Structure 1
Amino acid sequence: MYQNIEIYLKIIDWDKRLRREMPVLKEIINSIHHKNNKKPLRILDIGCGPGIHLLELAKKYPDYNFYGIDRDLNMIEYAISESKAEARHLKYISGDVLSDSFLINNKFDFIFSLGNSLSLIWGESSIENLLGRISESLNKDGMLFFQILNSDNPRKGYKKSNIIQISDDQEVFTMKRFEPDFSQNILKVEFISFIKKKGDENYEHQVKSSVWKLISMKDLEKILKKIGFSDIRFWENYLKAPLKLKTSDSLICKAKKIKKV
């Protein structure tokens, strides 16, 4: 998403994000632990980025085994460097869940994916193929939890970040542009980084484009049921507010694996 990991790390308010997202992750983990006869769990973060969520979880649950996978090698290298104290039970893999054998060859009790990571991945594959691969990697009664944008109310236009300092002589801000194309059922997304060096009048910019597939909540629910999930819940935020199809910005889903298909 971001071409410079330093920008990614500084442009996000991580303390605020962790306060918002971690409670529900811990709640799910605790519920699985209780139902799993308190055995150590295996937990995977798909699109883990710099590993900030996993590191927090590994500190909280030192007896569990945590894994993170991301196709961005720079993100993985950073995550590894920051997690040396937890390296015994926290592993990172640079890879692609669509082509690598990692998901096929391992089983997990809990798989989660935040920050629209699944939308980035299934833009290159069928949604059912990706979710099916995830389903195969979950143990029976395992949990899937993810966040994506709400396709029933797709974003339009621009979203700008605050200006931040990334060094003594550089400042940066980012902008995301969203353009839904309903004729092709896709969302065109541009991530733009604007960087200005001290003394310069104008910003230089870098653009990275991607295409995300739009999928309605009803179609997503159908796929999840087809590949063996039940107890499917949809929320608009991490406080579990019910998803409002026509107004909610994000879609958050929790589902339980019930059988092999």
Structure 2
Amino acid sequence: METIQNLVEYYDELYPVTKDQYDFYAYLMEQYAKPVKFLNIGCGTGVMENYLAKQMTDVTGLETIKELLESATRKHRNQLMALRFFKMSTIEMVRFLGKNFYNVISCLNDRIIFIHDRTLLRKFFFDCKQLLADDGMIVLQLANYNLYKSKTVSVLPEIKTTRVTLTSKLEYVSEEESLLSRNIKTGSGKVLPVYQKTSVYPITPSEIEEYAKESGFTSIEYFADFKRNPFTEKSPSMVVIIK
């Protein structure tokens, strides 16, 4: 069961676009001729997409959650920007979007784990390869799930803002099934459910490498964060660049 409406009010606080992210994407923009073409999967409320569009880039944001998509659309007030949002899943994207078009495809804030089985994850990488231009790349940001595979139940690091705390619990039911529960705790102590035992697939670095290579990608770099600090087996999160 999902109660996403409890997340929408606090989404921009819990998942802020940091200066490190802006700097990281500014660097990516230098790698391509303008207008750089971005596809952002799981775009949330569209903060990053609006920023990129203001840099004279071409931006497409995909979101499956209606409430988040509505928030993203409200932020798009300058109709002169090359920016569009669609309610679309990764399963649908290769049918409706231009092949060999995008320079950068991003999936941030752990959204990739909601592609909740191996077959669909393999399809994700294969479809991204079709949508990317010859010199294009995928950027992923997610937790280092190698840290949790040895436990049946794990409490993930909290995300705290001045108003709320987001708590997450990951359950490994079997090799093929994992469940994620998330709650928001307000300053008054009220607990608001977001996800309750939602199916996810906590993809690991070795699996990312396997699926990427199967799809024809030849280069994979792992970083601990958007500052490009070195990734180690103990890093709590990772930023992955796949070419």
TM category (shorter chain) comes to: 0.7 to 0.9
Contact (CA 8 Å) 1:235, 1:253: kept in 2 or not? yes
Give the TM-score, by structure 1 length.
0.78
| 1:42 alignment counterpart | 37
AA aligned to 1:107 is F
Give how far 1:196 is off.
Answer: 8.0
Moved more, 235-244 or 41-50: 235-244
2:8 matches 1:8: no
1:106 deviates by 7.0
SS at match of 1:136: helix
Q: Which string of whole-angstrom CA distances, capped at 9 and with x for unpartnered residues, describes residues 71-123 of structure 1?
A: 01221221111121155311111111213523466721111111011111244
Which residue is 1:193 aligned to? 184
| Cα distance in 2 between the residues matched to 1:196 and 1:18 | 23
> How far is 1:215 from its partner?
3.4
| Matches of 2:133 and 2:144, distance apart in 1 | 28
CA distance 1:125–1:218, change in 2 (3 Å): closer
Question: Which is greater in Rg?
Answer: 1
The one-letter amino acid paired with 1:190 is S
Q: 1: distance between equivalents of 2:157 and 2:145?
A: 17
Q: Which amino acid aligns with 1:225?
A: K
Contact 1:186 1:214 in 2 (8 A): no
The one-letter code sitting in structure 1 at the alignment partner of 2:204 is S
Q: After superposition, what is the alpha-carbon deviation per residue over 1:155-190, rounded to whole angstroms, capped at 9, x for unaligned?
A: 82254444755xxxxxx5432222345x42554311
2:21 corresponds in structure 1 to 21
The TM-score with structure 2 as length reference comes to 0.83
Q: Quick one: which amino acid aligns to residue 77 of structure 2? A: K
Task: Indicate conservation of the 8 Å contact 2:115/2:201, yes or no.
Answer: no
Contact 1:193–1:207 (Cα < 8 Å) also in 2: yes
Q: Check 1:124–1:220 CA distance in 2 against 1; reply closer, same or farther (3 A cut).
A: closer
Q: Structure 2: state its 5+ residue gaps.
A: none
Change (3 A) 1:158 1:149: closer
**1:116 counterpart residue number:** 110
Cα distance between partner residues in 1 of 2:194 and 2:12 = 18
Separation in 1, partners of 2:223, 2:90: 25
CA distance in 2, matches of 1:220, 1:67: 24
Contact 2:53 2:81 (8 Å CA) reproduced: no
Q: How much has 1:6 moved relative to structure 2?
A: 0.8
Tell me if structure 2 keeps the 8 A contact 1:18–1:53. Answer: no
1:52 maps to 2:47: yes
Distance 1:226 1:161 in 2: 34
Match for 1:231 among 202, 208, 219? 219
Instruction: Report the residue type matching 1:189 in the other structure.
Output: L
- Inter-partner Cα distance in structure 1 for 2:228 and 2:177: 27
Is the alpha carbon distance of 1:217 and 1:187 closer, same or farther for their aligned partners in structure 2, counting shifts above 3 Å? Answer: same
3-state DSSP class of the match of 1:243?
coil
Segments of 5+ residues of structure 1 without an aligned counterpart are: 166-171, 257-261
Q: Aligned partners of 1:152 and 1:162: how far apart in 2?
A: 23
Paired residue type of 1:51? G
| Aligned residue identity for 2:128 | I
Native 8 Å contact 2:36 2:58 kept in 1: yes
Report which structure shows greater RCO (CA 8 Å, sep ≥6): 2
Picking from 206, 220, 228, the partner of 1:218 is 206
- From 219, 228, 238, the equivalent of 1:240 is 228
Structure 1 residue 41, shift from structure 2 partner: 2.2
* Helix, strand or coil at the partner of 2:135: strand
3-state DSSP of counterpart to 1:48: coil
